[in-house]
A and B are shown apart, each in its own frame.
Chain A
Amino acid sequence: QITLKESGPTLVKPTQTLTLTCTFSGFSLSTSGVGVGWIRQPPGKALEWLGIIYWNDDKHYSPSLKSRLTITKDTSKNQVVLTLTNMDPVDTATYYCARSRYNFGVAESDSWGQGILVTVSS
């Protein structure tokens, strides 16, 4: 059974740095083709893809967040960490992590965490 769970602060102040951890089980981030991605959703709005880290430590980020976003992994702990600097109220959202794998040559996210609502406010 695959599970993912996001953890971290639910309230951050403007200009602070957000650090979220995705702890997963049921798969390995050492397996070829596997990645863990981050997606967020502001209240009442659409999903926004943020970035992904792959089994080989390859990383890709949304161009709009690339200067502020870092994703790292600790394979031995089954964890992926998202760091987002210079937080602003517009970054208020539910943040999800999700497993990504290649299926018939196409990357898809078949397992998701429950999400964590992060509010940016002074």
Chain B
Amino acid sequence: DIQMTQSPSSLSASVGDRVTITCRASQSFGNYINWYQQKPGKAPKLLIYAVFRLQSGVPPRFSGSGSGTDFTLTISSLQPEDFATYYCQQTYSTSFTFGQGTKLEIK
């Protein structure tokens, strides 16, 4: 299994802040990283796929970057609706794995 380690596990921020979440893989691979947003009681929603490609309908304040083993999700200016839990996922191996999640809370 490829292990995905997210940091931080939780984060407090204010509306308008710039926020970065990091995901580190246990082995190096290409662009097989996706990011999801999950709100309480709801199914996850795909935000970014293939490291930096924005899913249709996702606001451009969300962006992704990285390579090798280190990947980041950045929210350039937090909006009230962005407070949620975020997960990275690798789809490089035949057994996909998620990170443990980053809970983004209002400061």
Contact = CB atoms under 8 A, between A and B. Distances in A.
Interface residues of A, number: 26
B72 interface: no
Contacts of A104: 31, 49-50, 53
A113 B45 CA distance: 11
B89 A49 contact: yes
Contacts, number: 72
B44 interface: yes
Given A112-B43, A114-B43, A106 B31 contact: yes
The dominant DSSP class at the A interface is strand
B98 to A, nearest CB: 4
Q: Which interface class (under 10, 10 to 19, 20 to 34, 35 or more) fits B?
A: 20 to 34
Interface string B87-104: 101010011111111000
A60 interface: yes
A10 B36 CA distance: 26
B95 A62 contact: yes
B39 to A, nearest CB: 12
26 contacts: A37-B96, A39-B44, A39-B98, A47-B36, A47-B87, A47-B89, A47-B101, A48-B98, A49-B96, A49-B97, A49-B98, A60-B95, A103-B53, A104-B31, A104-B49, A104-B50, A105-B50, A108-B50, A108-B55, A108-B91, A109-B34, A109-B36, A110-B49, A112-B44, A114-B43, A115-B43
